[in-house]
Structure 1
């Protein structure tokens, strides 16, 4: 009993929050992340570290979904993996995030869900690849000036600690992936380990499941599998200004620039976090939140300039990300890629530089009142007036970029493309920009 009280007191002071974000819930995610930052509550990487489970998204399809309480199997698996005391809330209204978190905290204090059954199996959902170890920080990481460099190129632990696999049990037996045997690229006979990543990971595209076949540390095969989500008539949050302008609404160029600036800052925050630069990731997300809160162009410009300068000058960041996920412009064009990944004409580092440049330009334009040209239907990830959404082309490009790379580099490559699966759930009304499902 005393131990339980101690656990509750620790959880109440600063509860660890595990986020489960459905596609289409970007607005809710941003509101929750901003509120968590204000409260100082940490986001955790897996169920074992969580006290409060926050599910984000529309509940229209909840009754049809499988799993406990109507949620999908992966959500139920995450909930069962959280040790008591625990509580959960579902956030559907971005304007009531504070109320939802307060309600979850109250449930946690009361032990509302403290007696729920927790599986007896060892907690291996997000720590079953211990051969990727954390590496010591260099001295300059202590003052937050650079990301933490690994002992190998891009070699971050992707299943334990900060980048833990906050996973589900798809493709697992007793919590562990099954291994086959096959010839590797050198003709040797090695175990093939099948590893699912997603759909819930910190700094991971919401709703994305990536299935990898590994031999040693090398990705032999990769397959993309988006989480099934009900179609939504609402435009994707990041694409909203351009789609509204195309449908006849008057949208200012400043509003579109503000959304573009925030979208790329959101992507950069994920990119820096996955590369191990937590300090810059937090600062980047703060500026993102200021942009979305309506900060003036002068303030935003003064905030983004030092971020851009630090990222561009970091030799460690360049070393970590150069050569990863190289996508030449010609190949990108053939695959239907139309956004920053096409402009970058290169690797993960080049794609980051394109984002940084766009952030600087868009921050300066946030106060422009002139109307956005309705023919300018280009969102943060590419053209929106094509039959295929831009993020679909990014997802289609992922397998080839991942195959043959080190497993520890996979998350950096994914973060450098940052596909928005909200675009895959959008079903426009007849007569609007495009008609993909």
Structure 2
């Protein structure tokens, strides 16, 4: 069942109550019931690829192909099959529930255990990413959590079709579909979800910095911030040119519309004469470059190269655009990153172990790399299965959030008549 548009807060509260009530039954599902449902979801999805693609085409028709969100919105047969592969990875992972995190017996004989439990009901607000609907459902089911999904108008048809497929898999396996609901795309749903205190345990936004800021500023439910990636790579005075060319090109062009793609190349001034060679693969791939004064002097006249201004630093481009900043030493590079980073992913290309060690220790980000592409910041690449988002904050979870990060814990105390 796809939820129709609701007109009042009372209707939304009824939805939230039904999700909360159904979610209470999830922690007692057996591992076999969960795995069987995920297998059913893959089968139904593959049987309905054409239906999903037709819905996706309706969404794509409303969006300018030059919009950076277009690639995020786009589904293809290959991408749908990759989504199913990610669900398979989630299947293969151990359950994160009922793990004994700590155990002890007190002097009075009380037996204490701290065990992992679901967070409860997750509220996910996301933009133009229909794959998120599949990803978060598989993770939520495996971790015993319910879901209230709030997608954007951009992906309305895609998300509605996907949730109907999810509900088919749930019904086929006698799991309450009320625990997994998609809200209408209107703004009233967003407001209701952000204020769903007592029904929704946590809100996780997936999208632009503007969306994340709006959710953080307006939510009455606790929020885990994810997503916005203003990503830097520092090519220092010892950086290997061959490694650097490959890493920088991959980080920028592999999939420029996602949050782990490179936004700013920082280069040590002693390597400025090699900048032309360093960026040549980028130019061939159609990347537009905004270079600061020092770097511009060395690559001016190159197609797609312009002089940078202040707005080009601290920008998440989400497209084939990037900036270049020249620095005189590691400290200046670290200061630039500190000023403009969104604390998502940062990298250094260096053969100097002292520089690498200092960079890895001093950069404050969820993922910090040495001599590798930031394109690896991804739950699937980290071996976590699908991800529910990449947390850029420090409370509860940081970096790619998957099964373990969708749990909390509670204390179990067993006694034999003890009183205090």
Structure with the larger RCO, 1 or 2 (CA within 8 Å, 6+ apart): 2
Larger Rg, first or second structure (1 or 2): 2
Higher strand share: 2
- TM above 0.5, yes or no, is no
TM-score of the superposition, structure 2-length normalised? 0.30
